[in-house]
Structure 1
Amino acid sequence: MNEVSLTRLYVLRAMYLLVVVGLALSLWPGVFASKKPFSAWEFFRGVETTMMAAFWLLCVLGIRYPLQLLPVLMWELLWKTIWLIAVPLPLWLNGTLDDKLLPNVFAIGAVILVYAAIPWSYVYRHYLKKQGDQWRKA
C-alpha cells in the first residue's frame, strides 16, 4: 500500500526543485563571483552561505528521495514561520514595518507553498504517532 500518492510525491519533488533552482540563482553566483576566499568572508556570511549550500545539496537529494528528505522541508518551514512571527509580524502590528523589509517578507512568506506540499498525514504517522527509536539496550 502506498502511503503517499504519486501526485503528492511529484508535488514534493517540485518543491525541492523550486528550492534548488531558487538557490542556484541566488546563492551560487555570489559564491563563484566572490573575489575574496571563503576564509576572508565575514563570519555570519560564511556560516549562512555554507548552511544554504548544504541545504541546497539536501534539496537536490530530495528530488530523488522526497519522503526521506522531508525533514529538510520541515526545517525550512519552521525557520521561515518562526522568522515571520518573530520579526515582521510585531513590526506590522506596531505599524513600523519598513518598506525595505517587505521583499524579504514576501520571499519568506512563500513558505505557504511548503505547507501545501507536505503530506501532513504522513508526517503525523511517521513523526508523531510512530514509536521512537530506543534509547538504550533492552
Structure 2
Amino acid sequence: MNTTEQVPKQSKFSIKNIFLPDYENYEGVRRINIYVMRLFFALMFVFVATDSWTVILTHQGEWDPTRAVAWCTWAAYSTLALLGVFHTLRMLPIMLFMIFYKGLWLIVVAYPLWSAGTLKGSPAEGMAYMFTGIIIPILFMPWKYVFKKYILFETKKK
C-alpha cells in the first residue's frame, strides 16, 4: 500500500480550480492570484508604456535630467511589466515595486493632505484616487510565496 500523499492534478479550467493552490503550474500559488496579477501587469504596460514611450519618442530639445530619469524609469518599468503578463511569478518584484512606491506616496503625500482636509481639490487628488487601487494587488499578491522566495531565499534541495 502506497502511503505517500499526492497532490491532486488540476487537469482543466474550472471556476473551482482557480481558488485552489496550483502546484503543477504555479508553485502552489492559486490561479486567481496569477490571473489578477497578469491583469495588473497588462494594465501597467498599456497605460504607463503608452504615456512614457510617447513622451520619450516625441520629446524635442534638451531634456531636463531629472524629468528624463523619471520618464525613462516609467518606460523601463512598464516594459518590464509586459514580461509579467507571461512570467508572472518571476516578475513579482515589479509588482512589489508598484505596491511600495504607491503605498509610500499615499503615506507621504496623500495622507497629510487628507488629514489636513486639503486633499480634495488639490493637484494630488486624482493621483491619490488612482493609487488607492493598490489594495487589489495587495489582496492578490501571493504573500506566502513572496516571503519564501524573496525574504527567506529558499534554497533548492539536492
**TM-score by shorter chain over 0.5:** yes
Is 1:26 the counterpart of 2:26 in the alignment? no
Aligned-partner Cα distance in 2 for 1:26–1:98: 25
Give percent identity, aligned residues only.
Answer: 28
Distance 1:90 1:11 in 2: 31
What do you get for the CA RMSD once the two structures are aligned?
1.9
Cα offsets for 1:38-92 (capped at 9, x unmatched) = xx11121101011111101211111111101101110110111011001110121
Q: Does 1:91 align with 2:113?
A: yes
What 5-or-longer segments of structure 1 have no aligned partner?
Answer: 133-138
Moved more, 1-10 or 19-28: 1-10
**2: distance between equivalents of 1:53 and 1:5?**
30
Distance 1:33 1:85 in 2: 33
CA distance in 1, matches of 2:153, 2:147: 8
> What code does the residue aligned with 2:34 have?
L
Distance 1:8 1:98, change over 3 A: closer
TM-score, with length taken from structure 2: 0.73
**How many residues in Structure 1 have an aligned counterpart in Structure 2?**
129
Per the alignment, residue 71 of structure 2 pairs with 49
Query: Which consecutive unaligned segments of at least 5 residues does structure 2 have?
Result: 1-22
Query: Which of the pair has the greater relative contact order for Cα pairs under 8 Å at 6+ separation?
Result: 1
Contact 1:15–1:117 (8 Å) recurs in 2: no
| Larger Rg belongs to | 2
Structure having the larger proportion of residues in helix: 1
Distance in 2 separating the partners of 1:128 and 1:78: 15
Instruction: Verify the 8 A CA contact 2:56 2:72 in the aligned structure 1.
Output: no
Equivalent residue for 1:81, pick from 99, 103, 108: 103
Task: Label 1:96 to 1:7 Cα distance change in 2 as closer, same or farther (>3 A).
Answer: closer
**Structure-to-structure mapping, 1:52-131, within 5 angstroms:** 52-97=74-119, 99=121, 100-131=123-154
